[in-house]
Amino acid sequence: MASARERIDLPPQIAACLFDLDGVLTKTAVVHAHAWKQMFDEFLQKRAEEKGEEFRPFDIKTDYNEYVDGKPRYDGVRDFLASRGIELPHGEEDDPPAAETVCGLGNRKNDLVLELIERDGVEAYEGSVRFVRLCGEAGLHRAVVSSSANTKSVLKVVGIEDLFEAVIDGVVTEERHLNGKPAPDTYLAGAEAVGVEPSAAAVFEDAVSGVESGRAGNFGHVVGVDRVDHAEALRQHGADVVVKDLAELIR
């Protein structure tokens, strides 16, 4: 009978697995996408009316994947606005959600995410949970690396917080002044937290920015998780392999 490690389809040098949260472990990427769209559409509609311009809504398929997915919240706000030629003051992190600043819009988006999670709940991907459990049985280290400040509460809600040895989330990123994805800083912090070199760690990401982060950090293996039919983009930006679900990596 094959051992737990033999059943995991990863290169033999891999001793740790570093998982993004939204879209990899939990079905929260859709929640985030809809929160981004609601927040930006309300802002863009109001701005268009004030300036007498045509309202061009936020496009989940293109704008979400290109400008905000996987990035720290305020970076996503700034990068999307820049794509529309819009510049706002950065503001302060405690800006109210109604403030027309980068931080204000980001805080509004976060409030919407929390409202949606509270109203609709959230689920983990069953295939991902099976894969993570098998990694634990095989003695591989496991960490979650996410730009979301809500990571720990989401892990707790879906009941999988005990499967991981470390969490590098938006709170840690802010406290340590780490650069967000696509910079490799957060994944490097994840590898350090579980005591391995990047070359011995695999990164699991559904976002182009996250795949770029794994490649920039010279990690031993970068797995793209294609939940939204953008496998080719994941490959082009540095994924060594692309799967639809982590269960595909179980032999």
Q: Residue ranges of the alpha helices (H) in the chain?
A: 29-51, 73-83, 102-120, 126-137, 151-158, 170-176, 185-193, 208-216, 231-236
Q: Is pLDDT of 70 > 90? A: no
Look at the alpha carbons of 71, 195, 23, 244 in this order and tell me if their dihedral is positive or negative: positive
pLDDT at 228 over 90: no
The H or E element containing residue 202 is strand 201-205
Contacts of 106 (CB under 8 A, 6+ apart): 73, 74, 76, 77
Answer whether residue 234 shows pLDDT above 90.
yes
Domains belonging to the chain, first-starting first, are: 16-27+123-249 (3.40.50.1000), 30-120 (no CATH)
- Is 20 catalytic? The answer is yes
Give Cβ neighbours of residue 164 (< 8 Å, ≥ 6 apart): 19, 132, 142, 143, 144, 155
Return the residue matching tokens 């730009």.
147
For 34-52, b where at least 16 C-beta lie within 10 A, e where not — what string? Answer: bbbbbbbeebbeeeeeeee
Return the pLDDT at 24.
97
Which of 20, 63, 69, 226 does the annotation list as catalytic?
20
Q: Give the pLDDT confidence score for residue 61 in this predicted structure.
A: 86
- Measure Cα distances from 32 to 28, 69, 111 in Å: 6, 8, 11
Is 94 considered catalytic here?
Answer: no
Q: Is the dihedral of CA 166, 201, 191, 148 positive or negative?
A: negative
Query: How far, in Å, are 40, 96, 106, 136, 191 from residue 37 at the CA level?
Result: 5, 19, 12, 37, 33
Residue with tokens 């990694």: 135
What CA–CA distances, in Å, run from 27 to 1, 69, 117, 182? 33, 14, 10, 21
Q: Does pLDDT of 224 surpass 90?
A: yes
Q: Name the amino acid, one letter, at 228.
A: V
What was the pLDDT predicted at 117?
A: 86
Alpha carbon distance 244, 128 (integer Å): 11
Q: Which of 22, 75, 185, 206 is catalytic?
A: 22
Cα-based distances in Å from 90 to 75, 78, 94, 102 = 10, 8, 11, 5
Span 108-141, pLDDT tens digits: 999 999 898 888 889 999 999 999 999 999 999 9
